[in-house]
Every structure is written in structure tokens, then in C-alpha cells.
Amino acid sequence: MIKVNYHTHTSRCGHAIGRDEDYVLNAIQAGIKVLGFSDHAAYHLNRHTERMTLSKVPEYLDSLRALKEKYRDTIDILVGMEVEYYPDQWDTLQYYREEMDYLILGQHSLGITQASSYNCKTPEHLNAYADSLEEACARGLCEYIAHPDVILFRYPRIDEHVYRTAEKIADISLKYDIPLEINCGSGVHRPMMTYEDGIRYPYPSRAFLEVFAERGCKMIIGLDAHDPRDFLTDIYLQKALSIGEGLSLNIIEDFDIREAADRHKKSFY
């Protein structure tokens, strides 16, 4: 099991389960030393099964900050948020940038009312997704990019457009010194899916990992925990890592996300 996890959800998002404290207790049992909560960010447009509502943000902060204090001698707890780059929600994103210990970027749709990243099937969708990541990093919005390959969830085949998108994301990672995540969440929690080019997990993507390895991009493992029990098994971690088997992935274990957040807050605009 890894010793640091910055990708942890709470039941407030509508599709995770368990008490906040149970995540902490199970993380301690698993030997986690740094536990970062990063639930799905709330915006003015509510989607109750996808993210928390704005009314729950104060409770989120109060609960996790209380746990941070309660367990300060046992585990280092950070309070973050998993955000999307939505320019029309910039006031809300600015509040998160100022209030949270850190932010990770999980671009779940191309815009708050636009196509879901899970349903994208054209090269134009891939380009729009990569453009969103670039703009977010250029504006200092995040410390790392969560599940950068989520855009392939229903993309029908691994083709030249996929590799081109991976190269664009690698360029972003290197240009802005933004790590990319090997995600151990829903992509490997479900059975493999059938695509035009065969049977594979939706993500992580071997094609993306090949490019990231070749380019030497910094990579971080994220459990993407939606259930306290996710800390008590290595099965999803091993599945995710198996996709990159044989590749020289630049997995970093000493990433100081607080230092990165301080740096990005200074460049945030």
C-alpha cells in the first residue's frame, strides 16, 4: 500500500459512502502517513449524484479540519478539492484556490453544461479536453491532474488521435511541472470493457502511460477512494499498476503538494 494519498472522497458527492472518520481510521490502519481529502467540487449548477452542493462545503471543511486536529499526532490530514476548469465558475474556483490546502484537476466534462468526459467519442472531444487541461495549468488552478486518461472511457479505439492527445498532456505536464495521476478508481473497479480495438480497462490507458513514460512525466498514484474499505485492499492499486507493467514510469513518492499549492497560488489568475 502507498504511504500518501491525495485523492479521497466523502459521501457528500452523492456516489461515495462512509463516514469521514472511517476514511481516516482505515487510512491509519493501512499505514497511510498523509491523507488528502479532495471531494468533487461544488458549483452553482447542482448535480446531486456527481458532486456536493455548495451548501455542504462549510460542513466539509469543518468536519475534515476537526479530524485533522483530532488525529494530528497519528496522520497528516490535508483538506483539498477535486475541481474542473470551468471559466464561468471562476469566482467559485477562486474561493477553492484560496481556502483549500490544495486542488487536483479532474476534468469530468468539457464545460459545466457540456459533454461529459466519460462520453467523448471524437477527436474534437479529445482536443477540447486537452485544451481545458492546458488552460487550467496555465492559470495555476491545480497541483496535479487526476485521471488524465478519463477521456478514453467510451472513446472507441486507441488510434493516432489518442497518442496525439497523450503527447499534448505530456507537454502540459512538463511545461508547468504538473504531475499526472495513475488512477486506482472506477476505471479498474469495474470489469474490462469491450472496444473496437479489444477488451481493456477504460483507464488508466496503456497508450497514455507509454507516452508519459517515454517523456519522463512525473506521476502520482491516486486511490480515488470512494469507500473507506478502499484503503484496506491492494487489488485496485495492483490492477492500475499492471497496465503500465514493463514501462519506466517516473512515479514520485516525495511530492510536496503543499509547496506546490503555495507556488501555484502565487501564479493563480
Q: What does the pLDDT read at residue 58?
A: 98
Per-residue pLDDT band for 45 (boundaries 50, 70, 90) equals: confident
Tell me, what's the pLDDT at 46? 81
pTM, entire model: 0.96
pLDDT, tens digit (0-9, with 9 covering 90-100), for 92-145: 999 999 999 999 999 999 999 999 999 999 999 999 999 999 999 999 999 999
Residue 49 has pLDDT above 90, yes or no: no
User: pLDDT category, 79, cuts 50, 70, 90?
Assistant: very high
- Total of domains in the chain: 1
pLDDT surpasses 80 at 44: yes
The gap from C-alpha 40 to its chain's centroid, in whole angstroms, comes to 10
Nearest to 195 by CA among 246, 226, 158, 220: 158
Average pLDDT value over all residues in the chain: 97
The radius of gyration of the chain from alpha carbons, rounded to an integer in Å, stands at 17
Domain containing 171 — which CATH number? 3.20.20.140
Full residue range of the structural domain in which residue 190 is found: 4-267
User: Of 218, 264, 261, 223, whose CA–CA distance to 241 is shortest?
Assistant: 223
